Amino acid sequence: MIEFTPEQEEFRRAVARFVDAEVVPAAEAIDARAEFPWTLFKRIGELGYLGLRYPEAYGGAGADMVTYCLFAEELARGSLSVAAAAAMQSLMGTYFIYAHGSEALRRKYLVPALRGDLVATFALTEPNAGSDVANITTRAERRGDRWVLSGGKTWVTNAPVADVLTVAAKTSAERGMKNIALFLLDRSTMRGITLGKKIDKMSVRASETGEILLEDVEVPAEHLLGGETGGVEKIGGILSEIRVMTAAISVGLARAAYGAALAYARERVAFGKPIVEHQAIGFKLADMVTQLHAATLMTYQAAARLDARRAITREAAMVKLFASEMAVTVTDEAVRIFASYGLAMEYPVQRYFRDARFLLPGGGTSEILRVVIGRDLDWDRSQAFA
């Protein structure tokens, strides 16, 4: 049984009030413009939400993973674009600075990023290296007291507006994952960082995504985050959190879609009664709410286990797989319930349908997650209650 503390419940209600008052009214417009949601991003920083996971010494709140997931879920309910931008800022874009950067780097970059004064991102994916991390070709060569980076990254969330980037690069030409390191790049002071094309997406359109091109970028040695090797292990150290967070935003999006479909089914009349009273529609809604209920329980159980410092590699893969696929199913069924109106841009259900597809690759594709789960197919009933 999942039980939230009174403080967590009050926090969720506070986030929900913010989402209803400021995010939901702006969601359609920012999606149509396909522009970074600057106003909302700044507000999220002002409210302290970007620093939830970090210590108070850096302007954070020292909150646990359950609380962070409550924030992510509610924000995604209002706009998955805003949730995606905030997730990159508050998790992947800043985590490595905090975990592996010096105190000076934390003060210079982490603190303003948590206020929303700097936009941060994480750049790993390359045109020929997505799930196959060993195939990245971005190189970092040591030259005296500096590193020189060259290469290119793609599908970088927040790239078109990012001020600082954590970049994965190989420190030798050897194929494999042992020689991957993480570097912190500052666009305002380092030459050779060029923004490539902005990727025009069908989903999460206000979460800007693009390419980063690096040409002989000189990086001070102190901007190497945590050593010349071990980058994959560092990324793996936060991967379960990324997957559980993705499950939380999947739940938030599905909640929005289910709520819209239920309200429409109660209002729309066909053959003399609301369509919710027709078994064909009622069964759809029953399946949707059942899947949503299951995904919610899985998500917060996994978050609680992370808070208990438990290793949940397989469970996190299961949670992300189930929740993201659930969101795709629920948004698809929601559009079907709306019938022709599900195609109309005046209804947000079409945005929920489009945005759900964003959830599938992030944190590992469904196919990769099944590989992870398939490495250990033994299951003991007690595992679900441990």
Where are the domains positioned within the chain? 6-119, 121-229, 232-384
Quickly name the fold that domain 6-119 has.
Butyryl-Coa Dehydrogenase, subunit A; domain 1 (1.10.540)
Please state the rounded mean pLDDT for residues 79-101. Answer: 97
What's the pTM value of the predicted model, to 2 decimals?
Answer: 0.95
Q: Is the per-residue pLDDT at 354 higher than 70?
A: yes
What would be the CATH architecture of the domain defined by 121-229?
Beta Barrel (2.40)
Residue 286, φ and ψ in degrees, nearest 5: -65, -45
Share of the chain above pLDDT 70, in %: 99
User: What is the maximum span of the chain, computed from C-alpha positions, in angstroms?
Assistant: 80
**What value does the mean pLDDT take over residues 93-113?**
97
* Superfamily of domain 232-384 in the CATH hierarchy: Butyryl-CoA Dehydrogenase, subunit A, domain 3 (1.20.140.10)
Mean pLDDT of the 239-250 span: 97
296 CB neighbour count, 10 Å cutoff: 22
| Contact between 147 and 185 (Cβ < 8 Å) | no
Give the H/E segment covering residue 366. Answer: helix 366-374
pLDDT confidence band for 174 (50 / 70 / 90) = confident
Per the structure block, which two tokens stand in for 220? 């001070």
Asked if the model's pLDDT at residue 290 lies above 80, the reply is yes
The per-residue pLDDT for 133 is 84
What tokens does 9 get?
Answer: 């419940």
Which structure tokens are listed for 370? 């099944």
Yes or no: say if 187 and 165 are a contact pair by the CB < 8 Å rule.
yes
CA–CA–CA angle 27, 123, 298 (5° rounding): 60
Return phi, psi of residue 356, to 5°.
-60, -30
SS3 category, 129: strand
Q: Which pLDDT value is given to residue 1?
A: 61
**Which among 278, 279, 287, 280 is positioned nearest to 258, based on CA atoms?**
287
Task: Please say whether the dihedral angle defined by the alpha carbons of residues 39, 42, 44 and 46, taken in this order, is positive or negative.
Answer: negative
